[in-house]
Structure 1
Amino acid sequence: MVDSGVALAATVVVVVATAAVGIVAGRRGIATVEDFISARNTVERGSLTATIVASSMGAWILFSPAEAGAAFGGISAVVGYAVGSAVPLAVYAFLGPRIRRLIPAGHSLTEYAYVRYGPTMYAFVLVISVAYMFAFLAAEMTGIARGLQVVAGVPLWQTALTIGLAVACYTAYGGLKASVLTDAVQTLVILPLLAVGFGAALLSLGGARAIHAEVVATDPTLLDPGFAGGVEFGIYVVVAILAAEMLNQAWWQRIYAAADSGTLRRSFLVAAVAVVPMVFLAGLFGLVARGRGVGTDQASEAFFVVVGDAFADPIVLAVVVLAVLLVTSSADTLFNAIASVVTADLPRLVAIEGRALTLAARVLTVVVALASTFVAAQGYSVLAVFFVADLLATATFVPLLAGLYSRRLTGGGALVAGVGGLLVGGALFPLTPPTLQVLPLPATFFNAFIGAATVSLALTLLAALVSGARFDLGRLDREIARLDDPTANADGGRLRSDGGSTATAPADGDEEGERC
């Protein structure tokens, strides 16, 4: 086992170096709150692709895919996790340009929900979105804290506090620009470390044939692609990840940060392809761990258990560096994303603007960091935390996004669809108290996620069919303005005093949404 002091020192060095890069980014120009939370139209293809990859590849890839393979269904579960991680990015490649066309001056999914559906659905989406992102963040911090505890005996709170405070410092200072720049640097380090680490592990453990023999001897179903449990897991994890990422404000921020729609589309598609092999290789560590005698009760630490057994201390330290880089790349993204949601909504609730709004965004970033650090110190199961967050999103994403295409869906209809899906999914969720599992179906993750998505979709379609409403999608452009100039839209146009806009006809592709 690596000395705990050495491991903690390596962690400090990595986060301090990352913080220095983030602070440099902040010094390049955070003149307004717009710069802080959106970096609108400033990020080119290479940087955008790097920040998407780095933000996708948090420390969770060292825990959740391996835990899925070890405890939930073997190779099929790992494949499902890899595909599920790529699908949302591919969807955003086509959804993102539409969001930019309809809401050119936007910042967050919650302000869209407010204008499109009204205050009640807005409040529902706000709670669900922030809860999901906070759970994601807490799972990330929990994962790295437990990893260092396994390989070096570092107490959970020390790891969580060290990383949380350092990331909060540079994110609170530099905002989204700091996150994007540090992600680009981290990607250049993370990808080689992942490749070398996986290759070294394979050689150290005797090669692919020896590993295969160990896994088969332990449980041959782990390598059976047709194993029912694994296929079932693969199906519902795709649904769960897709739903969750649709409510992830981090991606909405990057939609607006992209230099243009072409850059956005290409970057998300490239990132979607890149994450598949990375998640798949990480998930294989769960199968290796089972083959080496690690029980399902240690599944969430499978990656670090294998690394600790297979490598000498210097290599383990390199893995610690990799894990810390992974968690900082996603933690800064989520710190800023949660703060940006609240910041974009503050002017609606209180009279605040300019420097005061930027300060509020920075304070909120620190508050989020401290709260997630506290949760991480509790040591919950990483995958369990993710599943709770994913269920919330699964019931909500269909009615939320349907409003970008359908003019007939009302706020009331969307709310009924979201709440209905959540009630059904919650009643079928294995982690729900037995007294609330009231439906005549077994409480399984598959039934919970598929049930929530199906009910939500059905109620959304029904609500749109019976509605006589006709929402003007042009209101999204007219009523959502830049935070540094509430009278201007993203193209520099001015809102008229009567609530109209100097903007011209809808962009290409909007007529289809108007007819729905």
Structure 2
Amino acid sequence: MPYLTSAVLVAALMCFAFLGLRARRVDGPLDDYVTARNSQNASTLGLSFLASGMGAWILFAPPEIGAFVGPLALAGYAIGSALPFIVLGLYGPKIRRHLPQGRSIGEFAEACYGAGVRRWVSLVSVLYMACFLAAELTAIGAITALLSDVPPALVVIGVALTTLLYTALGGLRASLATDRWQAWLLIALLALVGGVAWLRLPEMPVDAVMPAIPVAGALSVALTLVIAVTAANLFHQGYWQRVWAARDDRALGQGAWLGGGITVIVVMVVGGLGMLAAMSGVALGEPPIPFFALLSQAPAWLALPALVLAVTLVASSVDTLQNGIASLVVADSGKRGLSIGAARLVTVALMVPVVIVALQGLSVLRLFLIADLLCAAIVVPVLLGLWQRMSAFSAVAGGVAGMLGAVLPGWVTQGSLIEGILAASFPHSIPTLAPFLGALVASTLISLLLAWLMPRKQ
């Protein structure tokens, strides 16, 4: 069985590599390598948004939220997962008009506020995407150990090397081409795995109750997830690349709504499976992993398509993240004339520490939450950049206020600045609303107030 599993996984990865390499432009310019400017239609963008946003996290987080917190918080997670696409779909046309030759969120920040803010924004973006990469590769290692006898390290390295092969050589076009096929494949595999697991569930007890916590608590979790996921993903350079890759404003808007709509459905369906697992009385495991607990009730053969599903999910997000980090570095080095060859070397070099972290099998949830909070503290000042009254001072002050706002709730309740900082670092790796809400409200209020009192000089 390990040989069959290995052969199937190798075949899947080789198919992705073939599709990506076939789409590359051998002699294309650097700009095409990182933006595929004005070339993609709505359906391609929609499927790309879906595949890029879906990762192995959907097999862990939504089912757990569904099983323990209930449908209200799950809806918040689904909306938060889709909202970044919608925001870029609505805001993207203005960004394209303001910066028609743009390539990154860093360039957008510089066009609005100057080079200093650009470096700050680029650093946050790279930090967030590196956390995302480490989390995805760590997850595929854990899933491999759970579902097969294949050494997890081989799959982690295999996914990293395969995606590096076609993203380093093919750039954004390679990622977009594989996204289209990976989106359809993950939908089909999810339907197969989820459908069979659902059919093999034990008979539902007569007194089964849908998982739920008090409405106030569920709303708090839902709002936390909406803020955290939306703010963080708006610093995902892979999504910003697609703003300029769109054929036109109409294609961008339609693609964003398509990708966002399907994302909501996928997250709700996978989370719903977690609720069904909890309601049926299936042992959810320790730590709880409701989706994989369902597989314990299903036929043994289902483990193989489930593992292929996980590899597809990880590859579809990892290739976007790899290309996004490389394009951000290229865009930030554009004035120094970084070549395509150097961009490829940067892509490979950045993956080395990420793979090393992933091979440790560590939990990156706490680091993820800290990165999310940092994004939440500065997302509003960055997006306000197209407002004529906003200045670099207002943006930076708003970002600093956002970070102080994140610490303030814990400071007030615990009576200590150190305790406030500790609370904002999520010591128990549990997302809580107060730091995120404090960061968002403080950054917004200070940015708007200073922009009104001290407008940008024309």
Question: TM over 0.5: same fold?
Answer: yes
Pick aligned residue for 1:60 from 57, 60, 75: 57
Deviations 1:369-412, CA, capped at 9 Å, x for gaps: 323222222323465443232112111110001012x1122112
Structure 2 partner of 1:23: 21
Deviation at 1:197, TM superposition (A): 2.0
Percent identical: 35
Alignment of 1:160-309 (within 5 A): 160-206=156-202, 210-211=203-204, 216=209, 222-223=211-212, 226-290=214-278, 291-295=281-285, 297-299=286-288, 301-307=289-295, 309=296
Change (3 A) 1:170 1:212: farther
Matched, 1:421 2:374: no
Q: Distance in 2 between matches of 1:393 and 1:17?
A: 35
Change (3 A) 1:380 1:74: farther
Task: Give structure 2 stretches of 5+ with no counterpart.
Answer: none
Alignment of 1:388-403 (within 5 A): 388-403=370-385
Q: Would you say the 8 A contact 2:166–2:174 is kept in 1?
A: yes
Structure 2 partner of 1:476: none
Deviation at 1:22, TM superposition (A): 0.8
Q: Distance in 2 between matches of 1:49 and 1:284?
A: 23
The one-letter amino acid paired with 1:94 is: L
Structure 1 partner of 2:341: 359
Deviation at 1:255, TM superposition (A): 0.8
Deviation at 1:456, TM superposition (A): 0.9
Structure 1 partner of 2:391: 410
Q: Would you say the 8 A contact 1:36–1:174 is kept in 2?
A: yes
Deviations 1:2-39, CA, capped at 9 Å, x for gaps: x555444432221122111111111x445111111000
Deviations 1:147-166, CA, capped at 9 Å, x for gaps: 11122254443321111111
Deviations 1:328-384, CA, capped at 9 Å, x for gaps: 111101100011001011134xx335xxx1112111211233232222223234654
Deviation at 1:228, TM superposition (A): 3.1
Deviation at 1:40, TM superposition (A): 0.3
Change (3 A) 1:361 1:428: farther
Deviation at 1:190, TM superposition (A): 1.5
Q: Distance in 1 between matches of 2:124 and 2:365?
A: 18
Deviation at 1:230, TM superposition (A): 2.3
Greater CA deviation, 441-450 or 452-461? 441-450
Structure 1 partner of 2:10: 12
Change (3 A) 1:34 1:429: farther
Q: Distance in 2 between matches of 1:193 and 1:244?
A: 28
Task: Give structure 1 stretches of 5+ with no counterpart.
Answer: 472-516
Structure 2 partner of 1:478: none
Change (3 A) 1:211 1:56: farther
Q: Would you say the 8 A contact 1:398–1:457 is kept in 2?
A: yes
Structure 2 partner of 1:508: none
Q: Distance in 1 between matches of 2:45 and 2:410?
A: 36
Matched, 1:50 2:47: yes
Q: Distance in 2 between matches of 1:211 and 1:237?
A: 30
- Secondary structure class of the residue paired with 2:39: coil
Matched, 1:328 2:315: yes
Structure 2 partner of 1:447: 434
Q: Distance in 1 between matches of 2:149 and 2:404?
A: 41
Q: Distance in 2 between matches of 1:429 and 1:101?
A: 42
Change (3 A) 1:172 1:294: same
Matched, 1:144 2:140: yes
Pick aligned residue for 2:361 from 358, 379, 386: 379
Q: Distance in 2 between matches of 1:439 and 1:173?
A: 43
- Secondary structure class of the residue paired with 1:259: coil
Greater CA deviation, 102-111 or 269-278? 269-278
Q: Distance in 2 between matches of 1:213 and 1:363?
A: 60
Change (3 A) 1:183 1:467: same
Q: Distance in 1 between matches of 2:206 and 2:346?
A: 51
Deviation at 1:103, TM superposition (A): 0.6
Structure 2 partner of 1:485: none
Q: Distance in 2 between matches of 1:420 and 1:445?
A: 19
The one-letter amino acid paired with 2:265 is: P
The one-letter amino acid paired with 1:21 is: L
Deviation at 1:46, TM superposition (A): 2.1
Greater CA deviation, 416-425 or 107-116? 416-425
Deviations 1:163-197, CA, capped at 9 Å, x for gaps: 11111111101010000000111122121221222
- Secondary structure class of the residue paired with 1:438: helix
Q: Would you say the 8 A contact 2:104–2:241 is kept in 1?
A: yes
Change (3 A) 1:158 1:67: farther
TM-score, with normalisation over the residues of structure 2? Answer: 0.90
Change (3 A) 1:30 1:253: farther
Q: Would you say the 8 A contact 2:376–2:436 is kept in 1?
A: yes
Greater CA deviation, 286-295 or 127-136? 286-295
The one-letter amino acid paired with 1:110 is: G
Q: Distance in 2 between matches of 1:375 and 1:304?
A: 24
Structure with larger Rg: 1
Structure 2 partner of 1:34: 31
Q: Distance in 2 between matches of 1:170 and 1:336?
A: 10
Q: Would you say the 8 A contact 1:427–1:436 is kept in 2?
A: no
- Secondary structure class of the residue paired with 2:118: helix
The one-letter amino acid paired with 1:93 is: G
Pick aligned residue for 1:117 from 108, 113, 117: 113
Deviations 1:418-473, CA, capped at 9 Å, x for gaps: 1221233256589xxx97323899976110111111111111111201214235xx
Structure 1 partner of 2:303: 316
Structure 2 partner of 1:129: 125
Q: Distance in 2 between matches of 1:312 and 1:12?
A: 23
Q: Would you say the 8 A contact 1:150–1:305 is kept in 2?
A: no
Greater CA deviation, 147-156 or 195-204? 147-156
Q: How many residues align?
A: 447
Change (3 A) 1:429 1:318: farther
Change (3 A) 1:345 1:176: same
- Secondary structure class of the residue paired with 2:116: helix
Pick aligned residue for 1:104 from 93, 100, 106: 100
